[in-house]
Amino acid sequence: MIETHIPQRYATNPAQIPGMTTQQLRDTYLIPEVFVPGEIRLTYTHHDRVVLGGAVPAGAELRLTGYPEIRSETFLEHRELGIVNVGGEGVVIADGEEHTLVTGACLYLGRGVADVRFRDGDGGAQFYLFSAPAHTTYPTALVSPGEGTVRELGDQLTSNRRTLNQYIHENGIRSCQIVMGVTQLHPGSMWNTMPAHTHDRRTECYLYFDVPEDARVVHLMGEREETRHLLVADRQAVISPSWSLHSGVGSAAYSFVWAMAGENQAFDDMDAAPITDLR
């Protein structure tokens, strides 16, 4: 099954945050149901015109089509796409070429790829999709876990020891504007980044996964002087506008896919928000 329309989330500004209820925050920034068996489920956010969502073949073959909201006959007519498999082994077919994605692998598809299909491999594939507008074409590229740029960050003493896998970035898989990777927290670590940060030049979206059923991630958002939080469960996604800080702490260790699009692709182009400055 494929949706014939993409639900839209309109752009917001910091002045709206103080008056929002918990439910309004969740309705605006949280995507609670990303992976639905037998479906491609997408959300269009007007923050940098990102489209994100999931494809779960569940034994069938799913085809990614064009949608009225992006005014294109094929999905990648004027877009690019990053795909990370957070389930069992699966296959992505791009213009007839098959790409096998093990758990944690990342595939980039550039502007102009006309036919995109998803299939199970050994079963249980769950493909996370992140797309942004593209001005030119870069070649299809696949990278497996550990084959990208691997950075060890944080410290066990501050509960944020983590392994960061950079896949799509300026020194890795080339793209027009997508920057994408996977971070895994080490056992005993809970913070995905600290200090929190903003980057006014890019929208970033988090997909939290490997979150135990009885655990949650407290995702911080908002401005430094006006923070809010979202309680996020396994395989739920958060939209973080360029003006919003983003950081999270879990009640257990977890992993997350981070993906950005916007003004530049410099991963370290960020403005720290020390916790002593937050309110």
What's the mean per-residue pLDDT of the chain? Answer: 92
Fill in the DSSP letter of residue 236: E
Q: Which of 190, 194, 198, 250 is nearest to 224 (CA)?
A: 198
Q: Full-prediction pTM beyond 0.85?
A: yes
Query: Cα separation of 179 and 205, whole Å?
Result: 11
In tens, the pLDDT along 46-55 reads 999 999 999 9
Residue listed under structure tokens 């006959």: 73
In tens, the pLDDT along 25-72 reads 999 999 999 999 999 999 999 999 999 999 999 999 999 999 999 999
In the chain, where the domains are located: 21-277
Over residues 74-99, the mean pLDDT reads 97
Main-chain phi, psi angles of 90, to 5 degrees: -145, 175
CA 44 to chain centre: 13
Evaluate if residue 120 carries a pLDDT over 90.
yes
In tens, the pLDDT along 129-156 reads 999 999 999 999 999 988 878 787 777 8
Residue listed under structure tokens 């249980």: 124
Mention every residue, 6+ apart, whose C-beta is less than 8 A from residue 198.
242, 243, 244, 245, 246, 270, 271, 273
Residue 8 exposed, middle or buried by CB count within 10 Å (0-12, 13-18, 19+): exposed
CATH number of 21-277: 2.60.120.10
